[in-house]
């Protein structure tokens, strides 16, 4: 078994991953609030933790990994979207509009993430289906004096949890000084956050000991994670933007509600995404959804295959800011077209490269893993290239319809196989055959280089693939 090391945001170091129970490895990742299409930044954690899910299943077994990613389907943004539909003349109730909107958005999300090659998690709980668990957790926090009820709201006493701030590395007083916190007359402390809030007759609401209302955002993930993964589980993931306050609040309420557990042992956060070197923003005109890219409705103007989007994401380590550029997308498309052409030489018997797994296991080093794929391509080991690429969610068995290799691409991917034939001929001291192949390659404009490690090549400006037909 290959040792997996992961960077833990909470401890601020990279350590060997040791699951609580190797027969039941458990991971929770914060999912989307389903009020609109997923934008490009929303997709980065999906791809990041999809790769981790694949790696964990490879090491511990497909049936030994439980992956939970939630849908937040009760939220003020969702309510606002439904209100806009009603104000536009839709006669249905707000509750009916909210349900339709969230169902529709979940469908969009699945379609878009499927296009990126992401596997579906083991469980995808909707917050509205776990309200009872949230109410029970809130009642427990009140009973332990970690929460209090005021004017139909229930709030968590942040200062009742001495470990608050450990994840983000800031004290409570520092957070108050440096952050915008909601000021409300019913709060005992500015940092206290809402666990439950009242709903009017139109808004979604559920009966509770504190009146008709709905849960706060933070309690949703804590309750669903506890119900599906237990008081202690292995990994909690999400974007770095969720580190504070969402994840900090999750830790506080979960550890206070279930002090017998430790909640998540490893915290992983992917960095933010930029577009052409700038923060993605509607005001800058560089804001687009995954569907915009897939359909060609973005500044680049062409339809970007989901596999290309995935490749661009994986080319940057998850803990580094990622810059989406049209140039990167174009280069990724060229590379994948070559690899798809190489896949034609694969007979389905390739094995995932051990070096590839080793690199990927070092804190999910996808950029290094892609470098390994380039090496496999250059060496002509196409069966291993295909098997390893598919491990990353690239070159899918059912995919590749967007790729139509031209004769020049097909000729280029055949060159590494000819180089391997040169090296084999030299090893058998059949120098005549080696020289014959080299001469044809050179006549076609291929620059062949030979070293102790083997042969390599470059494509010259006068490349003529038709001349390679002399070797058939």
Q: What is the 3-state secondary structure (H, E, C) of the chain?
A: CCCCEEEECCCCEEEECCCCCCCCEEEEECCCECCCCCEHHHHHHHHHHHHHHHHHHHHHCHHHEEEEECEECCCHHHHHHHHHHHHCCCCCCHHHHHHHHHHHHHHHHHHHHHHCCCCCCCECCEHHHHHHHHHHHHHHHHHCCCEEEECCEEEECHHHCCCCCCCCCCCHHHHHHHCCCCCCCCCCCCCCEEEEEECCCCCCCECCCCCCEEECHHHHHHHHHHHHHCCEEEEEEEEHHHHHHHHHHHHHHHHHHCCCCCEEEEEEEECCEEECCEECCCCCCCCCEHHHHHHCCCCCCCCCCHHHHHHHHHCCCCCCCEEECHHHHHHHHHHHHHHHHHHCCCCCCCCCCHHHHHHHCECCCHHHHHHHHHHHHHHCCHHHHHHHHHHCCCCCCCCCCCCCCCHHHHHHHHHHHHHHHHHHHHHCCCHHHHHHHHHHHHHCCEEEEEECCEEEEEECCCCCHHHHHHHC
Q: Identify the residue with better confidence: 178 or 242.
A: 242
The pLDDT of residue 174 is 67
The pLDDT of residue 467 is 82
What is the number of other CB atoms lying within 10 angstroms of the CB of residue 78?
Answer: 22
Residue 417 has pLDDT above 90, yes or no: no
- Tell me which fold the domain 5-270 belongs to: Rossmann fold (3.40.50)
> Once rounded to an integer, what is the mean pLDDT over residues 437-448?
90
Do residues 324 and 276 make contact, with C-beta atoms less than 8 angstroms apart?
A: yes
Q: Calculate the alpha carbon distances from 265 to 6, 18, 444 in Å.
A: 11, 10, 58
Binding residues: 30, 221, 246, 250, 282
* C-alpha–C-alpha distance, residues 396 and 445, integer Å: 33
The pLDDT of residue 379 is 87
> Once rounded to an integer, what is the mean pLDDT over residues 400-425?
80
Binding residues for ATP: 282
Do residues 68 and 28 make contact, with C-beta atoms less than 8 angstroms apart?
A: yes
The pLDDT of residue 322 is 96
Do residues 395 and 340 make contact, with C-beta atoms less than 8 angstroms apart?
A: yes
Model confidence at 457, pLDDT cuts 50, 70, 90, reads: confident
The pLDDT of residue 106 is 97
- Classify burial at 320, counting beta carbons within 10 Å of its beta carbon; exposed 0-12, middle 13-18, buried 19 or more: exposed
pTM: 0.90
* C-alpha–C-alpha distance, residues 189 and 210, integer Å: 20
- Sorted by where each begins, the domain ranges of the chain are 5-270, 280-403, 407-471
Model confidence at 409, pLDDT cuts 50, 70, 90, reads: confident
The pLDDT of residue 376 is 94
Model confidence at 313, pLDDT cuts 50, 70, 90, reads: very high
Residue 179 has pLDDT above 60, yes or no: no
Residue carrying structure tokens 């709060």: 187
Model confidence at 218, pLDDT cuts 50, 70, 90, reads: very high
Model confidence at 454, pLDDT cuts 50, 70, 90, reads: confident
Residue 175 has pLDDT above 70, yes or no: no
Do residues 1 and 45 make contact, with C-beta atoms less than 8 angstroms apart?
A: no
Mean of the per-residue pLDDT values for the chain? 92
Do residues 195 and 147 make contact, with C-beta atoms less than 8 angstroms apart?
A: yes
* C-alpha–C-alpha distance, residues 434 and 426, integer Å: 6
The pLDDT of residue 472 is 64
Binding residues for Zn(2+): 30, 221, 246, 250
The pLDDT of residue 198 is 95
Most trustworthy range by pLDDT among 108-122, 335-349, 377-391:
108-122
What are the pLDDT digits (tens) for 60-76?
999 999 999 999 999 88
> Once rounded to an integer, what is the mean pLDDT over residues 436-463?
86
Phi/psi region, residue 276 (left: phi>0; alpha: psi -120 to 50; beta: rest), is: left
Residue 24 has pLDDT above 70, yes or no: yes
Nearest Cα to 16, choosing from 4, 1, 7, 25?
4
Most trustworthy range by pLDDT among 179-183, 272-276, 340-344, 348-352:
272-276
Residue 364 has pLDDT above 90, yes or no: yes
Residue carrying structure tokens 């989007």: 309
* C-alpha–C-alpha distance, residues 370 and 38, integer Å: 26
């Amino acid at each position: 078994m290959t040792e997996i090391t992961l960077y833990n945001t909470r401890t601020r170091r990279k350590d060997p991953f040791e699951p609580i129970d190797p027969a039941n490895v458990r991971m929770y990742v914060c999912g989307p609030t389903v009020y609109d299409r997923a934008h490009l930044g929303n997709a980065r954690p999906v791809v990041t933790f999809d790769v981790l899910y694949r790696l964990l299943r490879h090491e511990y077994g497909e049936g030994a990994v439980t992956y939970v990613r939630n849908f937040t389907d009760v939220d003020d943004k969702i309510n606002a979207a439904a209100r806009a539909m009603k104000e536009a003349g839709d006669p249905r109730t707000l509750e009916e509009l909210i349900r339709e909107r969230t169902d529709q958005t979940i469908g969009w999300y699945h379609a878009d993430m499927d296009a990126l090659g992401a596997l579906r998690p083991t469980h995808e709980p909707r917050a509205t289906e776990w309200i009872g668990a949230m109410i029970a957790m809130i009642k427990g926090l009140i009973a332990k004096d970690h929460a209090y009820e005021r004017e139909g709201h229930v709030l968590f006493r942040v200062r009742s949890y001495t470990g608050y701030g450990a994840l983000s590395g800031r004290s409570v007083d520092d957070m108050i000084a440096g952050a915008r916190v909601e000021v409300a007359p019913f709060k005992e402390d500015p940092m206290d956050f809402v666990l439950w809030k009242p709903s009017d007759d139109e808004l979604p609401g559920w009966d509770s000991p504190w009146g008709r209302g709905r849960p706060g955002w933070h309690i949703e993930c804590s309750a669903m994670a506890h119900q599906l993964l237990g008081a202690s589980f292995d990994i909690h993931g999400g974007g770095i933007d969720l580190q504070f306050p969402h994840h900090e609040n999750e830790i506080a309420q979960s550890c206070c509600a279930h002090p017998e557990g430790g909640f998540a042992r490893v915290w992983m956060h992917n960095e933010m995404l930029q577009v052409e070197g700038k923060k993605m923003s509607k005001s800058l005109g560089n804001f687009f959804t995954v569907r915009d890219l897939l359909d060609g409705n973005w500044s680049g103007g062409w339809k970007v295959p989901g596999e290309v989007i995935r490749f661009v994401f994986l080319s940057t380590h998850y803990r580094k800011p990622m810059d989406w550029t049209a140039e990167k997308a174009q280069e990724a498309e060229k590379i994948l077209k070559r690899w798809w052409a190489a896949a034609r030489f694969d007979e389905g018997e390739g094995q995932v490269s051990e070096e590839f797994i080793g690199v990927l296991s070092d804190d999910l080093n996808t950029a290094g893993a892609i470098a390994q794929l380039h090496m496999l391509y250059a060496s002509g080991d196409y069966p291993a290239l295909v098997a390893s690429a598919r491990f990353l969610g690239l070159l899918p068995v059912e995919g590749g319809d967007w790729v139509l290799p031209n004769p020049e691409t097909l000729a280029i991917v055949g060159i590494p196989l000819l180089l391997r034939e040169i090296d084999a001929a030299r090893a058998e001291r059949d120098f005549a055959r080696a020289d014959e192949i080299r001469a044809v390659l050179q006549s076609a404009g291929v620059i062949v280089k030979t070293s102790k490690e083997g042969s390599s090549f470059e494509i010259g400006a006068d490349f003529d693939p038709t001349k390679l037909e002399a070797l058939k």
